[in-house]
Structure 1
Amino acid sequence: MNRQLLEESLAIVDLPDDGLTLRFYEILFARYPAVQPMFRRDITTQADMLRTAIISVLDHLDNAEWLSSNLGWLGRRHAGMGVTPPMYDAVGECMIAAMAEIGGDAWTSEMSDAWTDALTAVSSMMVDGYPSE
């Protein structure tokens, strides 16, 4: 993963007051309304937690043990809430859409590719944490 590109591109789109993650949820609920009942009506706390999680993952990109442990735990937690592995594709799609929208002309296809790779890796580690049946 290209850590520098991920950090630089996040700096472009990381709006005050969780603007990126709030916009992400707006896009997610518009494109995939079936997932909205999984969330509270007021999404601000969830948006803040998502922003914190994104920054934490970037801060620990070089620490495979931290990533595996924390993302595995997060995956188990999401599994318990009814999140299915295919839902992660929708999350990645909507996050990149929000980033591209906010980034405007400054957003590049290379940034989208880097975030696709990163979000796919995060999703994979989260699903690896799902309980085996």
Structure 2
Amino acid sequence: MTTDQKQLIKATVPVLKQSGLLLTTHFYQRVFSINPELKHTFNMGNQQNGRQPAALAMAVLAYAENIEDPSVLLSTLNRIGHKHTSLAVRPEHYDLIGRHLIASIGEVLGDAATPALLDAWTAAYGQLASLMIGIEAGLYAAQVTKPGGWTGWRPFVVRARIEESSEVTALHLYPVDEGLVADHQPGQYLSIRLFLPQLNLLQPRQYSITNEPNGLFYCISVKHETGETTSTNKLISNHLHAVVQEGDRLEVSVPVGVCPVAVNVPKSVPSTQRSGCPMHQVA
């Protein structure tokens, strides 16, 4: 990026502070209207509750504020990279998302989106995409070199359902191919992807791993959600809790997450809250 382009990016910080959420909300609406197949990749529950647009707005703002030295964001980008690899995000996704982002900037800012500003954001996004692709390439390479490791979605079968309480059910997940599974670190999580007939979509959601590494299976504990249950996140948990039985298959990603310390809490707490790791809650 040129010095002038960096100055243009920094000049948009006040706009992002005021209208960043408007921009990212428009962006996601644009993405899903033009490329509805991406609804199978994104957690639509985080679209429903507004967390995904809000998280992206904060990320774009942080990037603009640190455009002179994006390396200060490497810790955050690494955490995002873990989440992306759990969802099988690939380099080609960045090209598609980049086109939607630049178009959204033009559509939301209108006449203020000068050709020079759009060129600057195109260069800035390209720099960010290169950083993320590099981080994720390293993560993918590390995942496949582990004993029992893989990338993308691997079919698993539920071999045991254990009622931990009246509200929490533990699922023991074994690979369909009967191979080994990669060891996980404390605080790491899996992405589980399943088909929700209510939405006619494949949907992912993250769950902390609740068993010790054993090379054979993973355990997740799923809480039955009460109250308003039309949320996609609640639909996924309730489907796992009430519908999925022993012998059913699920698609599972390799363990990811960079939380160094596991927090010991009672089993009554749902697995998505056990590890103290916020990454499965962030876009």
TM-score bracket for this pair, using the shorter chain length: 0.7 to 0.9
Structure 2 gap segments, 5+ residues each: 145-283
Assess if the C-alpha contact under 8 Å between 2:98 and 2:125 holds in 1.
yes
1-structure distance, mates of 2:65, 2:18: 18
Counterpart contact for 1:96–1:115, Cα < 8 Å: yes
Alignment of 1:1-133 (within 5 A): 1=1, 2-9=5-12, 11-12=14-15, 16=19, 18-37=21-40, 38-43=42-47, 44-130=50-136, 131=139, 132=141, 133=144
Contact 1:5 1:114 in 2 (8 A): yes
SS where residue 129 of structure 1 aligns? Answer: helix
Unaligned runs of 5+ in 1: none
**Bigger relative CO (Cα 8 Å, ≥ 6 apart):** 1
Q: Percent identity?
A: 27
CA contact (8 A) 1:23 1:98 kept: yes
More helix per residue: 1
SS at match of 1:82: coil
Q: Which amino acid aligns with 1:40?
A: M
Larger Rg: 2
- Structure 2 contact 9–67 (Cα < 8 Å) conserved: no
- Shift of residue 17 of structure 1? 7.5
Structure-2 change in CA distance of 1:106 and 1:61 (3 Å):
closer
How far does residue 39 in structure 1 lie from its aligned partner after superposition?
Answer: 2.2
- Tell me what 2:231 maps to: none
Cα distance change of structure 1 residues 103 and 32 upon mapping to structure 2, 3 Å threshold: same
- Of 22-31 and 69-78, more deviation after overlay is shown by 69-78
Return closer, same or farther for 1:55/1:115 CA change in 2, 3 Å cut-off. same
The whole-number CA distance in structure 1 between the counterparts of 2:97 and 2:17 is 17
Report deviation, 1:13: 6.3
Give the superposed CA RMSD. Answer: 2.1
- Bigger shift: 117-126 or 71-80? 71-80
What is the distance in 2 between the residues matched to 1:64 and 1:106? 25
